[in-house]
Amino acid sequence: MADSHKRNLKDFVEVGGGIAILVGIFFVGLELRQNTAAVQAATNQDLIHASSDFLVDIGSDPETHRVYHTGRLDPSALTPSERSQYFMLQQAFWLRMQNAFMQWQRGTLIDEDWIVYQSVICGSATAPGPEAHWRRANAITPAFKEFLETCSE
């Protein structure tokens, strides 16, 4: 009888242990899902913040706004120093767009948010004239360059 009691106790402990493991896995999965959502929200917030800063920088300084606006319309109307400034503004734009692309590829930017960036990126990449500065931008990764090439197809 003692052996039967030990066997029943052992079975009970094994079943209880299995249930505890399943409950633990469930909570780990729940925590992972919450963490993923938090990372995605933080990524989107960081991208929005960077875009806002860029726009505020251009919009709040009349000279920077003039250089940016003139550069978009006719970069040849800028002085060499202003062309350099405009090029740096374009670099900042394309690096920010590349960041959005890389975050989307990594899964930290959800498709719904990526669609907005894709529209901005492809619209800028295919615009005639000065907006195609990504072709001269430094630090564009091969994967992002390949994506940009598909915008014009």
Per the document, the length of the chain is 153
DSSP annotation of 127 reads S
Angle at which helices 80-106 and 111-126 pack, to 10 degrees? 150
Q: What is the pLDDT of residues 71-113, one digit of tens each?
A: 888 888 999 999 989 988 888 888 889 999 998 998 888 899 9
Whether the per-residue pLDDT at 132 is higher than 80: the answer is no
Phi, psi of 108 (to 5 degrees): -95, -5
114 by DSSP, 3-state: which?
A: helix
Q: What is the pLDDT of residues 12-68, one digit of tens each?
A: 677 777 776 776 677 666 676 667 777 666 776 777 777 778 888 888 999 999 998
Q: What gap in Å lies between CA 78 and CA 101, rounded to an integer?
A: 31
